[in-house]
Amino acid sequence: MANTAPPGETSLQILLSSLTTSLHPSTFVFATISSSAPLPPPSEIQAMFRETEGVTVVTTIEYATESGLEFVFPCRMIQLNVQSSLEAVGFMAVVATNLAAGGIATNPISGFYHDHIFVPVGKEREAVELLEEVARGAGTVRQAGL
């Protein structure tokens, strides 16, 4: 039975003002495997997305290296510790815009309960600091026109 009201907050103001983060300790990478190749074990997949060209897998750099996967974008994952609704409008746009203004590349992925931002290794502390500024209201001047 489908739930007609997705869980989570939809108010942009509440999402931004209650934003806290958690930095995952692992270094992740993005790899692609053919659609016909066996997938890594579920315990090794942080995220997965099927595309026409193959399956994109986000996994740890350790697993990718040990498995001989070709990979790109060594990154750290920042979890946004506010339960945003999948129907929230503008939250990820504000987060990504503020990180972009700070010169930080982002690859956002929304899960059922939380949003996650993958940022280049070496930029994670700066990204967390920028997100703290957003929560304090300092970053709201760059809200992507919202």
| Burial class, 61, CB count within 10 angstroms (exposed 0-12 / middle 13-18 / buried 19+) | middle
The reply to whether 3 falls in a domain is no
Q: To 10 degrees, what angle do helices 124-136 and 91-101 make? A: 120
Summarised one tens digit per residue, pLDDT across range 5-21 is 668 999 999 999 999 99
The reply to whether 127 falls in a domain is yes
Q: What is the CATH number of the domain that holds 106?
A: 3.30.2130.10
Q: Which domain holds residue 25?
A: 12-141
The reply to whether 1 falls in a domain is no
Summarised one tens digit per residue, pLDDT across range 70-96 is 999 999 999 999 999 999 999 999 999
The reply to whether 5 falls in a domain is no
Total domains in the chain come to: 1
SS (H, E, C) 68-112: CCCEEEEEEEEEECCCECCCCCCHHHHHHHHHHHCCCCCEEEECC
The reply to whether 104 falls in a domain is yes
The reply to whether 2 falls in a domain is no
Taking the model in full, what pTM does it have? 0.89
The reply to whether 17 falls in a domain is yes
Mean pLDDT of 9-35: 95
Summarised one tens digit per residue, pLDDT across range 50-73 is 999 999 999 999 999 999 999 999
Mean pLDDT of 131-141: 76
